[in-house]
Amino acid sequence: MARIKTEKNISRKEVIVAKAASLFREKGFKAASMRDLAEAVGVEAASLYNHIKSKTELLHELCFSVANRFMHNIDEIERENSSSLEKIEKLLRFHINEMIHHYEEVYVSDREWKHLADPYLSNYQNQRRIYRKRFASIIETGIREKEIKKIDAPTAVLIMLHAISGIESWHRSTQRISAAELEENMITILAGGLTNK
Protein backbone atom coordinates (compact mmCIF):
# COMPACT_ATOMS: atom_id res chain seq x y z
CA MET A 1 0.00 0.00 0.00
CA ALA A 2 1.21 3.50 -0.85
CA ARG A 3 2.46 5.70 1.97
CA ILE A 4 2.01 9.46 2.22
CA LYS A 5 5.20 11.07 0.95
CA THR A 6 6.64 13.62 3.34
CA GLU A 7 9.61 15.96 3.30
CA LYS A 8 11.99 16.55 6.19
CA ASN A 9 10.32 18.04 9.30
CA ILE A 10 6.81 17.72 7.78
CA SER A 11 4.36 15.20 9.24
CA ARG A 12 1.91 13.13 7.20
CA LYS A 13 -0.95 15.08 8.73
CA GLU A 14 0.63 18.38 7.59
CA VAL A 15 0.86 16.96 4.05
CA ILE A 16 -2.84 16.03 4.20
CA VAL A 17 -3.83 19.48 5.53
CA ALA A 18 -1.84 21.24 2.77
CA LYS A 19 -3.42 19.07 0.06
CA ALA A 20 -6.86 19.67 1.60
CA ALA A 21 -6.29 23.46 1.43
CA SER A 22 -5.47 23.16 -2.26
CA LEU A 23 -8.46 20.92 -2.93
CA PHE A 24 -10.96 23.02 -0.93
CA ARG A 25 -9.79 26.16 -2.75
CA GLU A 26 -10.11 24.50 -6.13
CA LYS A 27 -13.42 22.64 -5.66
CA GLY A 28 -14.95 24.21 -2.57
CA PHE A 29 -15.37 22.38 0.72
CA LYS A 30 -18.77 20.89 -0.15
CA ALA A 31 -17.75 19.48 -3.53
CA ALA A 32 -14.36 18.08 -2.45
CA SER A 33 -14.51 14.46 -1.32
CA MET A 34 -12.25 12.31 0.82
CA ARG A 35 -11.63 10.23 -2.31
CA ASP A 36 -10.39 13.37 -4.12
CA LEU A 37 -8.11 14.09 -1.17
CA ALA A 38 -6.78 10.53 -1.04
CA GLU A 39 -5.98 10.75 -4.75
CA ALA A 40 -4.18 14.09 -4.26
CA VAL A 41 -2.14 12.63 -1.38
CA GLY A 42 -1.50 9.36 -3.27
CA VAL A 43 -3.11 6.83 -0.91
CA GLU A 44 -6.34 4.83 -0.48
CA ALA A 45 -9.18 6.84 1.09
CA ALA A 46 -9.28 4.43 4.07
CA SER A 47 -5.64 5.26 4.94
CA LEU A 48 -6.50 8.92 5.45
CA TYR A 49 -8.54 8.00 8.52
CA ASN A 50 -5.34 6.86 10.25
CA HIS A 51 -4.35 10.54 10.34
CA ILE A 52 -7.62 12.51 10.40
CA LYS A 53 -11.18 11.91 11.60
CA SER A 54 -13.08 13.72 8.84
CA LYS A 55 -13.14 16.35 6.13
CA THR A 56 -14.70 18.71 8.69
CA GLU A 57 -11.69 18.26 10.99
CA LEU A 58 -9.46 19.44 8.13
CA LEU A 59 -11.55 22.58 7.60
CA HIS A 60 -11.48 23.24 11.34
CA GLU A 61 -7.69 22.86 11.42
CA LEU A 62 -7.21 25.15 8.40
CA CYS A 63 -9.52 27.92 9.63
CA PHE A 64 -8.24 28.04 13.20
CA SER A 65 -4.55 27.74 12.35
CA VAL A 66 -4.91 30.82 10.10
CA ALA A 67 -7.06 32.67 12.68
CA ASN A 68 -4.54 31.91 15.42
CA ARG A 69 -1.64 33.24 13.32
CA PHE A 70 -3.51 36.49 12.71
CA MET A 71 -4.46 36.84 16.40
CA HIS A 72 -0.90 36.15 17.54
CA ASN A 73 0.39 38.79 15.10
CA ILE A 74 -2.06 41.49 16.20
CA ASP A 75 -1.24 40.68 19.88
CA GLU A 76 2.42 41.40 19.19
CA ILE A 77 1.75 44.55 17.17
CA GLU A 78 -0.60 46.04 19.79
CA ARG A 79 2.14 45.66 22.43
CA GLU A 80 4.67 47.61 20.34
CA ASN A 81 5.56 51.16 21.25
CA SER A 82 5.02 52.52 17.74
CA SER A 83 2.64 54.88 15.97
CA SER A 84 -0.80 53.77 14.76
CA LEU A 85 0.31 54.13 11.14
CA GLU A 86 3.35 51.91 11.76
CA LYS A 87 1.10 49.31 13.42
CA ILE A 88 -1.34 49.40 10.51
CA GLU A 89 1.47 49.04 7.99
CA LYS A 90 2.79 46.00 9.88
CA LEU A 91 -0.70 44.46 10.00
CA LEU A 92 -1.16 45.06 6.27
CA ARG A 93 2.25 43.58 5.42
CA PHE A 94 1.39 40.50 7.48
CA HIS A 95 -1.96 40.10 5.66
CA ILE A 96 -0.33 40.59 2.26
CA ASN A 97 2.45 38.09 2.98
CA GLU A 98 0.01 35.51 4.31
CA MET A 99 -2.05 35.91 1.12
CA ILE A 100 1.09 35.58 -1.03
CA HIS A 101 2.88 32.74 0.77
CA HIS A 102 -0.01 30.80 2.39
CA TYR A 103 -2.59 31.62 -0.27
CA GLU A 104 -4.59 28.39 -0.25
CA GLU A 105 -4.92 28.18 3.55
CA VAL A 106 -5.90 31.87 3.84
CA TYR A 107 -8.32 31.60 0.90
CA VAL A 108 -10.06 28.57 2.42
CA SER A 109 -10.26 30.15 5.89
CA ASP A 110 -11.76 33.30 4.34
CA ARG A 111 -14.24 31.66 1.95
CA GLU A 112 -15.14 28.23 3.34
CA TRP A 113 -15.45 28.89 7.10
CA LYS A 114 -19.25 28.99 6.79
CA HIS A 115 -19.18 25.17 6.50
CA LEU A 116 -17.85 24.83 10.06
CA ALA A 117 -20.31 23.34 12.56
CA ASP A 118 -21.13 24.84 15.94
CA PRO A 119 -19.57 25.47 18.41
CA TYR A 120 -16.63 26.02 15.99
CA LEU A 121 -18.67 28.19 13.61
CA SER A 122 -19.73 30.63 16.35
CA ASN A 123 -16.21 30.67 17.78
CA TYR A 124 -14.71 31.43 14.37
CA GLN A 125 -17.23 34.19 13.60
CA ASN A 126 -16.50 35.71 17.00
CA GLN A 127 -12.73 35.65 16.34
CA ARG A 128 -13.27 37.41 13.00
CA ARG A 129 -15.40 40.12 14.67
CA ILE A 130 -12.90 40.65 17.49
CA TYR A 131 -9.99 40.84 15.05
CA ARG A 132 -11.70 43.50 12.92
CA LYS A 133 -12.64 45.51 16.01
CA ARG A 134 -9.03 45.45 17.23
CA PHE A 135 -7.79 46.53 13.79
CA ALA A 136 -10.38 49.34 13.73
CA SER A 137 -9.35 50.39 17.24
CA ILE A 138 -5.75 50.99 16.04
CA ILE A 139 -7.13 53.21 13.25
CA GLU A 140 -9.35 55.08 15.75
CA THR A 141 -6.32 55.75 17.98
CA GLY A 142 -4.51 57.15 14.92
CA ILE A 143 -7.49 59.42 14.17
CA ARG A 144 -7.54 60.74 17.75
CA GLU A 145 -3.81 61.41 17.55
CA LYS A 146 -4.31 63.26 14.21
CA GLU A 147 -2.04 60.77 12.38
CA ILE A 148 -4.90 59.37 10.32
CA LYS A 149 -7.62 61.13 8.35
CA LYS A 150 -11.06 61.28 9.95
CA ILE A 151 -12.72 58.21 8.46
CA ASP A 152 -15.02 55.42 9.61
CA ALA A 153 -12.52 52.87 10.98
CA PRO A 154 -14.65 49.68 10.60
CA THR A 155 -15.33 50.60 6.95
CA ALA A 156 -11.61 51.24 6.38
CA VAL A 157 -10.79 47.79 7.79
CA LEU A 158 -13.31 46.09 5.49
CA ILE A 159 -11.98 47.95 2.43
CA MET A 160 -8.36 47.04 3.25
CA LEU A 161 -9.13 43.37 3.94
CA HIS A 162 -11.19 43.07 0.75
CA ALA A 163 -8.39 44.68 -1.25
CA ILE A 164 -5.90 42.16 0.13
CA SER A 165 -8.22 39.25 -0.66
CA GLY A 166 -7.98 40.49 -4.27
CA ILE A 167 -4.42 39.09 -4.31
CA GLU A 168 -6.21 35.94 -5.49
CA SER A 169 -6.23 37.47 -9.01
CA TRP A 170 -2.45 38.09 -8.75
CA HIS A 171 -1.98 34.35 -8.17
CA ARG A 172 -3.98 33.59 -11.33
CA SER A 173 -2.21 36.17 -13.48
CA THR A 174 0.30 35.01 -16.09
CA GLN A 175 2.03 38.42 -16.31
CA ARG A 176 2.30 39.46 -12.71
CA ILE A 177 4.62 41.81 -10.88
CA SER A 178 6.91 40.31 -8.22
CA ALA A 179 5.61 39.60 -4.72
CA ALA A 180 7.84 42.39 -3.34
CA GLU A 181 6.45 44.92 -5.87
CA LEU A 182 2.90 43.82 -5.10
CA GLU A 183 3.47 44.32 -1.37
CA GLU A 184 4.98 47.80 -1.82
CA ASN A 185 2.23 48.89 -4.22
CA MET A 186 -0.47 47.77 -1.80
CA ILE A 187 1.20 49.47 1.18
CA THR A 188 1.51 52.73 -0.80
CA ILE A 189 -2.19 52.63 -1.69
CA LEU A 190 -3.70 51.24 1.52
CA ALA A 191 -1.50 52.73 4.26
CA GLY A 192 -0.65 55.87 2.27
CA GLY A 193 -4.34 56.61 1.81
CA LEU A 194 -4.86 56.86 5.58
CA THR A 195 -2.15 59.42 6.29
CA ASN A 196 -3.42 62.76 7.54
CA LYS A 197 -1.10 65.10 5.62
Provide block-wise average pLDDT over 10 residues at a time, the chain (197 residues): 54 85 94 89 78 88 95 96 96 97 95 94 96 97 95 96 94 90 95 85
Tens digits of residue pLDDT in 94-143 = 999 999 999 999 999 999 999 999 999 999 999 999 999 999 999 999 99
Is 178 among the domain residues? yes
Cis peptide, bond prior to residue 154, ω within 30 of zero? no
Using CA atoms, how far residue 115 sits from 56, 62, 92, 126, in Å, is: 8, 12, 27, 15
Is 4 among the domain residues? no
Residues 110 and 43 in one domain: no
Residues 75 and 165 in one domain: yes
Q: Based on the structure, what is the number of domains in the chain?
A: 2
CATH number at residue 27: 1.10.10.60
Is 5 among the domain residues? no
Residues 159 and 64 in one domain: yes
Stated pTM of the model:
0.89
Range of the domain at 24: 12-48
Is 7 among the domain residues? no
